[in-house]
A = this chain, B = another copy of it.
């Protein structure tokens, strides 16, 4: 796990849109943006042209290089370079050492043609075509030295952003096989484009919820013209048989057949109901799940579980399905609210603890950028978690053995959720459940104090809001009710070291009580 931590330096001639692209990339990557020309204008307290005129280009270039030096010692910045920055080979070397260079390319005539009058007036040099051409020609070699070159004139802003994201986060294909059928996971920043091929030549229903539709539907409409759009209300309440019936009615009205395609676009609620509806429409239509949430990428979308709720009980109804493909929409991950990010990080940390020490370590060490939503880091967590889960479900699709590892923290966690009648989020409940599992593991001598402490601290950081805990006696009957309980036996997943788990069915209410009380005590002390 080694996502890009360096700076992105945008270079290019004046008028290529470096500042605009930098802002857009800052938003897409959730990274800070520095506009060098604006910084230097502030530094000199005067417009750049005035500095040139009154103090000379040398003074300006010196300040520019000094600023670049300071920026190069920081990380994760999106830097809109001044037009002349890459001319100095020393500057380019500095940029290369501390990040990557994205050059915006275009010839002066084309660049000038797309500027409006005000923009031209702001840069008097545009008035002298010969001078512009000469300057441009002189800088050609400097601009040609880049990691990624983009057509400044021919590409839409969104396409430029996608190209840069694709460069930083190239497509990754994770093989997943569910009961002999391939159900691969594709992690991509260009999810809409990835749907073009499977959608070709058949009707498509695009199922999503109101929140996701507002944020992402436009991107998908372009890739799926003519798709029947089915928008359900956001939230867990949509995972009902009643809502499923409304979706079926929409499919009926649109006359979708078995060979057509249902695309479920959203978080766990949408992919759960979409998987269920597709698997049960005319005894099974083709389905692609597109996850726009971190929690979905980490958990719900991978592994073929579909579900709806019935009154009073979550996920009781559903089936194991094999979607044709699961797509992790990495570009959507930077649009998540912080609370949704936390939910995903908690489940990812669970996966790391149980299966992938390097994922757990990554979340521990990069907690801050992850909580801030840094896209490369968040995407790395999404992909590593999906890969880990994909490997588990390939081995044990129907949860007869290994797959149970994913329930680490969920036995008590589900009881917390039920006890709070689902008014406390799943992630917060799982965070508490994980802490109880860690405590059980520590008390049995399965893990050492250091791991127990580090994991508990990480979980407190990922889920800082406190929540009341049911006692062992209150939790016990709720846990017995869970669909994972077998013949009245409660199975707990415990850690036997980082990345190693064991399933036990001999935890007593007394043992659980001690662990719950220990976690409660820490809560009270904090």
Residues on A close to B: CB < 8 A?
A: 202, 241-242, 244-245, 248-249, 252, 255, 257-259, 276, 279-284, 305, 307, 310-313, 316-320, 398, 481, 483, 485-487
Contact = CB atoms under 8 A, between A and B. Distances in A.
B316 A281 contact: yes
Interface of A is mostly: mixed
A451 B259 CA distance: 36
B483 A257 contact: yes
Given A249-B310, A310-B249, A257 B486 contact: yes
The copy count of this chain in the complex is 2
Contact of A483 (B244, B258, B483): B258
Contact of A305 (B258, B283, B312, B398): B283
A278 to B, nearest CB: 10
A283 B248 contact: no
B317 A259 contact: no
A398 B485 CA distance: 32
A282 B281 CA distance: 19
Given A241-B245, A310-B245, A487-B257, A282 B316 contact: yes
B248 A284 contact: no
18 contacts: A241-B242, A241-B244, A245-B310, A248-B316, A252-B310, A252-B312, A257-B486, A258-B486, A280-B317, A280-B319, A281-B316, A281-B317, A282-B318, A282-B483, A283-B305, A283-B319, A284-B319, A319-B319
A245 B483 CA distance: 17
A255 to B, nearest CB: 7
A465 to B, nearest CB: 30
Most buried by B among A283, A313, A483: A283
A280 B318 contact: yes
A319 B307 CA distance: 14
Q: Which of A281, A310, A312, A487 has most chain B Cβ within 10 Å? A: A310
A255 B477 CA distance: 11
A311 B246 CA distance: 10
B283 A318 contact: yes
A279 B319 contact: yes
Nearest to A312: B252
Nearest to A317: B280
Contacts of A319: 279-280, 283-284, 319
A245 B311 CA distance: 9
Contacts of A279: 319
A7 B132 CA distance: 112
Contact of A283 (B257, B258, B320, B487): B320
Contact of A284 (B241, B252, B312, B320): B320
Nearest to A245: B241
A483 B481 CA distance: 38
A450 to B, nearest CB: 38
A252 B487 contact: no
Contacts of A311: 245, 249
